[in-house]
Amino acid sequence: MKRFTAEFIGTFALVFAGTGAVVIDQVSGGAITHVGIALTFGLIVLTMIYTFGDISGAHLNPAVTLAFWSARRFPARDLPLYLSSQCLGAFAASALLRFLFPTNELLGATLPTGTEAQSFILEAVLTFLLMLAIFNVSTGAKEKGITAGIAVGSVIALEAMFAGPISGASMNPARSIAPAIISGHLEHLWIYLTAPLLGSLLATVACRCVREPGCCTAKAQNAI
């Protein structure tokens, strides 16, 4: 249960800090700025990887967990508890933000500013690149584990920096579903549930194409 508790706390921290930055930016009249929001998401993921990486792998994201399962690096028996822990952590964070900011309409929910197709493609590509980075920093030389948090956090901050104004740069179904349901804005939620899953699964295929045989199918309990 320690691994599942770690996933709950880690995802709670991710959603609380990340979407909290969005909410506080709105209520403070832009004090955080878009750059600050992107950096917040990247830094909280970096922090949680170093905090819980050796316990649960610090997936913090159902798309990441499912991608590791599809690559045969995560046991199917642990899927239900990992996915539920991540979603429960996200809902707990959004519920706390609703309590703290009861008048905020969106609670940091991800909504497209362009077309749905545009955001779907962006989210799929962003998650593809993120998962490809995660696969490659969690495989190979032992020294990669030391820098994994920096690499993954940097990718998230980078992608949120340039794509956030269009699609929200969620890359994480748990991060999107919790504020959407608690704020009552479900109209575009399907994008942020399906596109990250598609992107992460495509990354599994790409990893097998560019790494040595068996590298991306080696059994491993932890992501990072």
- The DSSP annotation for the chain comes to -HHHHHHHHHHHHHHHHHHHHHHHHHHTTSSSHHHHHHHHHHHHHHHHHHHHTTTT----SHHHHHHHHHTT-S-GGGHHHHHHHHHHHHHHHHHHHHHH-TT-SSTT----SS-HHHHHHHHHHHHHHHHHHHHHHTSS-TTHHHHHHHHHHHHHHHHHHHHHHHH-----HHHHHHHHHHHT--TTHHHHHHHHHHHHHHHHHHHHHHSPTTGGG---S---
Is there a domain that residue 122 lies in?
A: yes
Q: Please write the tens of the pLDDT for every residue from 47-94.
A: 999 999 989 999 999 999 999 999 988 999 999 999 999 999 999 999
Is there a domain that residue 223 lies in?
A: no
Radius of gyration of the chain (CA): 16
Is there a domain that residue 224 lies in?
A: no
Top-confidence residue, 118 or 147: 118
CATH classification at residue 212: 1.20.1080.10
pLDDT of residue 213: 61
pTM: 0.92
pLDDT over 60 (residue 160): yes
Is there a domain that residue 211 lies in?
A: yes
Is there a domain that residue 196 lies in?
A: yes
Average pLDDT of the chain is 91
Instruction: Find all residues with CB under 8 Å of 3, minimum gap 6, and list them.
Output: 55, 56, 57, 78, 82
Top-confidence residue, 135 or 97: 97
pLDDT of residue 216: 58
Is there a domain that residue 222 lies in?
A: no
**Per-residue pLDDT band at 145 (split at 50, 70, 90):** low
**Total domains, the chain:** 1
Is there a domain that residue 109 lies in?
A: yes
Whole-angstrom distance, CA of residue 130 vs CA of residue 138: 12
Is there a domain that residue 190 lies in?
A: yes
Whole-angstrom distance, CA of residue 158 vs CA of residue 216: 25
Residue with tokens 């050796």: 54
Instruction: Note down the domain range covering 144.
Output: 2-217
Find the mean pLDDT for residues 91-112. 97
